[in-house]
Structure 1
Amino acid sequence: MLVHICCAVDSHYFLQKLREDYPDERLIGFFYDPNIHPYSEYRLRLLEVERSCRQLGIELIEGPYDAKAWFDAVRGLENEPEKGRRCAVCFDRRFEVSAAKAAELGEKSFTSTLLTSPKKSLPQLRTEGERLGEKYGITFCAPDYRKASGTQEQNRLAKEAKLYRQDYCGCLYGLTIQRSEQKKFADELQVPISGQIQPESIEERLALYKQRLDLEEEGHDYHIVKERFLNWRLEWGLLRVGKVPVPAHILPYSTLKRAFTRGRIDGKIGPLAWLNRDEVKFTTLNEYNRLTGRNYPSVTALIFDPPPFSEEVTFRKSLLPSPYDLSTLLVVETLPKQKIELSMKAHCFEDVRERMILIN
């Protein structure tokens, strides 16, 4: 039996139930989910499915990440709600490819872990699965593992296995709508041009769960705990000196009351200078290199290849020792002598991140 897999939280429970109810079947996992965006989130969910299948002794096949075809399929349905027409098209496409893969492998049946997801419509999934089963001459198995406290058991097993739990279904449109309803900034879609790993970004989570695999291979025990913290994302920023754009590196936790300010350098003490309004502060690249032990040849080089986020926070604290200071702090080649114009949009917001604690 080919089992289409959407995520490890669903599959870890679903595969064990299938093994109990179909003891004579050879189960093959099929991870086909081009709906998952961004790609780093796709890699993270695949990483967890690989770990789960390895623990359960299930063969796993990764399907193609044909995201463009998925976007083409749902064009015009971007604003549909959860369980709406976009979801139906999404299920249809993944089921179609799964059924075709099952037939290609010579399997007589196929199913999907989507059946156990509490956010999916079971009748909708069954109808489409049965239609495609008839088309490809195979059986669609649609057990209801949600009943009899199945969802609670699924959550218990996921917690026991320390599985990564995503907090959105997967696609770009569902995520955008969900964050809008929650009145939350969709930071999952923000990736800096530098490639720097941001706090509680999908890239940070991916690194953490890869580290978890290394710890398990080495026989170490650990806990993954959550912590509440103040997060930050920069959407965009532009510094003009005398109407001319100049390179400027914006340090983490820089905020501006409005999206625009202007003024002149009003004073300087040591490595820190400040504008005559809106709490904007400056330091030079030479001071940055001196205090961080780096050797950047230019601000542009710093912009596109900054040090780790934590190191930049440490540098910020060396100039602005208060942990509550959210003033804008910029690194420039030389302190401007002409009139300055700064346009910037940044977000500071409460967030929750995961942290690894090694036990032995």
Structure 2
Amino acid sequence: MPEPGRNNHGAAPAGSGSLLVHACCAPCSTVALERLRVQWRLGFFFYGPNIHPAAEYRQRLEEMRRFCNAEGVQLLEGEYRPADWGRAILPWRHLPEGSRRCQECFRLRLRRTAEEARRRNFDAFGVTLTVSRHKNSRLVIETGRQVEAESGVPFVDVDLKKQAGFERSLQLSRQWGFYRQQYCGCSLSRSEGLARRRRRAGA
């Protein structure tokens, strides 16, 4: 029998009780809700100190509020302190997307989610980040397990990208009419994305 919370597939993991899921945005949260609410009493935690600029943060938060209000799902809102993100990734800010820089950003957000889960008496915590085709699910899950080990709060490590999870998020986002961002959220990713688009335009 698999260990509760351990599941590298796209289906809902074995489990029961309450689960606090870190939400990066509404589009990724659609698939998380669809798959995880089958087994868990779900709540979302919107915490994004990495998101830049502030207008982008507000837009993503408003979409999360709209989604959770319509679905009747609890939404907890974390503090918005970009300086916390800046300190967390400072030694690795020169590295490219997908590197240790991103892992430390994951760690910051997952630690805060585990802390909130404990404070609010959730049984476990999880994350929507594995939905995105632009995120390394292995790295996200590895970081979540590390946070579980240090916090003592169980981490539900389902890979939501599997079983066409990303494609399903596109479909659901279109149905909702959600805003879909063009970069992960941080200023570094935004600059790198703009540079790539300029290179393609000049090719």
1:169 touches 1:175 (CA, 8 Å); kept in 2? yes
1:77 touches 1:85 (CA, 8 Å); kept in 2? yes
Picking from 77, 85, 101, the partner of 2:116 is: 101
Report the CA distance between 1:118 and its aligned residue.
Answer: 1.3
Report the CA distance between 1:167 and its aligned residue.
Answer: 0.6
Which structure carries more helix by proportion?
2
Q: What TM-score results when the alignment is normalised by the length of structure 2?
A: 0.85
How far apart are the structure 2 equivalents of 1:137 and 1:169? 28
Picking from 148, 155, 160, the partner of 1:140 is: 155
Cα distance per residue 1:225-263 (max 9 Å; x no partner): xxxxxxxxxxxxxxxxxxxxxxxxxxxxxxxxxxxxxxx
1:115 touches 1:142 (CA, 8 Å); kept in 2? no
**Paired residues for 1:54-65 under 5 Å:** 54-65=69-80
1:7 touches 1:49 (CA, 8 Å); kept in 2? yes
Q: Helix, strand or coil: the match of 2:198?
A: coil
Report the CA distance between 1:149 and its aligned residue.
Answer: 2.1
Cα distance per residue 1:89-128 (max 9 Å; x no partner): 1001001111111111121200000121111111111111
How far apart are the structure 1 equivalents of 2:93 and 2:58? 23
Picking from 172, 176, 179, the partner of 1:161 is: 176
Picking from 186, 191, 202, the partner of 1:171 is: 186
How far apart are the structure 1 equivalents of 2:179 and 2:28? 11
1:108 touches 1:138 (CA, 8 Å); kept in 2? yes
How far apart are the structure 1 equivalents of 2:21 and 2:43? 6
Larger Cα-atom Rg: 1
Report the CA distance between 1:54 and its aligned residue.
Answer: 1.1
2:28 touches 2:129 (CA, 8 Å); kept in 1? yes
Q: How many residues align?
A: 181
2:61 maps to 1:46: yes
Over the matched positions of the two proteins, sequence identity in percent amounts to: 35
Q: Which residue of 2 aligns with 1:236?
A: none
How far apart are the structure 1 equivalents of 2:33 and 2:193? 29
Q: Which residue of 2 aligns with 1:182?
A: 197
Q: Which residue of 2 aligns with 1:7?
A: 25
How far apart are the structure 2 equivalents of 1:145 and 1:87? 18
How far apart are the structure 1 equivalents of 2:193 and 2:153? 36
Cα distance per residue 1:57-92 (max 9 Å; x no partner): 111011011111111221243332111121111001
Amino acid corresponding to residue 63 of structure 2 in structure 1: E
Superposition CA RMSD, Å: 1.3
How far apart are the structure 2 equivalents of 1:79 and 1:134? 28
How far apart are the structure 1 equivalents of 2:35 and 2:64? 16
Cα distance per residue 1:142-171 (max 9 Å; x no partner): 112222222211111110111111111100
Gapped runs of 5+ residues in structure 1?
185-360
Report the CA distance between 1:55 and its aligned residue.
Answer: 1.5
Amino acid corresponding to residue 27 of structure 1 in structure 2: L
Picking from 9, 23, 26, the partner of 2:41 is: 26
Amino acid corresponding to residue 27 of structure 2 in structure 1: V
Amino acid corresponding to residue 56 of structure 1 in structure 2: E
